[in-house]
Amino acid sequence: MFGRQYGNGNEQNAIHEASSSSSASPSEASGTLTSREVLLRVEGLTKQYRVGGTLSGYRLVRAVSDVTLSIHAGETFGLVGETGSGKSTTGRLVLALERPTSGTVTFAGQDLSRVSGKELRTLRRMMQPISQDPYSALNGRMRISEILAEPFAIHGVAKGVERRQEVEHLLELVGLPLDSLHRFPYQFSGGQRQRLVIARAIALRPRFIVADEPLSALDVSVQAQIINLLRHLQRDFGLTYLFISHDLPIVRLLCDVIGVMYMGKLVEFASREQLFGAPAHPYSHALLAAVPVTDPSKRAQRKKLYLSGEVPRATEVLTGCVFHSRCPLSEARCVAEVPVLRSLAGGRLVACHFAPVDENALIEAAKSRNASVFATAAIDSGASK
């Protein structure tokens, strides 16, 4: 079967080398982003959680704050940022696994906040997750035949022999042998388990998949196989991905459009070429500067950008730009005024008063800021003795 070859080729090339490939992505091959249907639209999305006890009073954690974005049918939208930036929460909100505090999520023309019950269940068939941990995502007490048949049973799709054939076809699509049906999850490797998670996600032929760090638990060679599998499935079934990841080389390889999040806010929205060619936000510069360089000759030529300052606490009430406490270019305006997500050349959106930011100017400002911080620390240390 054609599906048997997905991700099973000789993909031992390093992901970091593959990310520089010039081959067209699925979105590029199908035309410009603006010419296709907007499958998912998020507007003013905010999610707050209450923390703390009754005696001390509760505090609010703003996990996601006023996020607005659009994802077109057939594209792969990457969401990047540090741990705690709100990426996974955004993924849960767009899947309607959690209700937002405010804002709207519109999928295929329907506002998810206005649907429930049977109507929401019907929509869930078109939206599926691929989880980060393939070990905990599969029920260890169930055989693979039961795991893959479960989506059909829940939604009342295909029965008897037809369901059995569908389950077998899923295994073929993700490149696993049919004798896998009688085995348990513990009998598979990490890469094979992730293939099973993907098989379950595509069982009902969804249009939209949220892949939350789907490669982080796998080694590099297996990551390449899973990337090939995701690409083939996108091509054959017209899938749209929201791809959440910390690994920027993989994001560069797989994604068409990328959103950068920091402290729950979307600070930059750009195409792959724009973000990796010339990032416009200081935080985007810092993220790219943190990517390891494996080639020693290139490592010596690389410009270094070090950020001082602390990441704000999740419960801290922030004023102005969320990045001002760490930004080398921060001024009084940044502390007092919230930057709006404004449009720059090429259609990119950036939430910064000084965007687009010049890399050399940012590095020099960071050096000056760091020197001042270290000098102040030395004075405080001497005074305390």
Q: What is the pLDDT of residues 311-364, one digit of tens each?
A: 888 888 888 999 999 999 999 999 999 999 999 988 899 999 999 998 888 988
Query: Which range in 19-33, 84-98, 290-304, 358-372 is most confidently predicted, on average pLDDT?
Result: 84-98
- More confident call, 133 vs 177: 177
3-state DSSP call for residue 63?
A: strand
Residues 289, 366 contacting (CB under 8 angstroms): no
- More confident call, 198 vs 375: 198
3-state secondary structure 326-368: CCCCCCHHHHHCCCCCEECHHHCEECCCCCCCCHHHHHHHHHH
Residue corresponding to tokens 């890469």: 191
The dihedral through the CA atoms of 214, 217, 220, 221 has a sign that is: negative
Per-residue pLDDT for 186 more than 70? yes
3-state DSSP call for residue 322?
A: coil
Mean pLDDT of the chain: 86
- The DSSP bridge partners found for residue 241 are 76, 209
Per-residue pLDDT for 53 more than 60? yes
pLDDT score recorded for residue 372: 61
d(CA 21, CA 247): 17
Please tell me whether the peptide bond between 185 and the residue prior to it is cis, using omega within 30 degrees of 0. no
3-state DSSP call for residue 114?
A: helix
User: pLDDT category, 142, cuts 50, 70, 90?
Assistant: very high
pLDDT score recorded for residue 35: 55
Give the predicted TM-score (pTM) of the model.
0.85
Question: Mutual orientation of helices 282-289 and 359-383 as an angle, nearest 10°?
Answer: 80
Domain 2-263 has CATH 3.40.640.10: no
User: pLDDT category, 1, cuts 50, 70, 90?
Assistant: very low
Per-residue pLDDT for 287 more than 70? yes
Can you tell me the mean pLDDT for 129-137?
Answer: 90
At residue 362, what is the residue type? L
Q: How many residues does the chain have?
A: 385
3-state DSSP call for residue 209?
A: strand
How many alpha carbons fall within 13 Å on the CB side of residue 214?
34
d(CA 329, CA 361): 9
pLDDT score recorded for residue 316: 84
Domain residue ranges in the chain: 2-263, 282-348+360-383
pLDDT score recorded for residue 2: 32
Residue corresponding to tokens 């077998």: 168
Distances (CA, A) of 289 to 85, 220, 258, 330: 18, 21, 17, 19
At residue 230, what is the residue type? L
253 — phi, psi (to 5°)? -75, -40
User: pLDDT category, 31, cuts 50, 70, 90?
Assistant: very low
User: pLDDT category, 7, cuts 50, 70, 90?
Assistant: very low
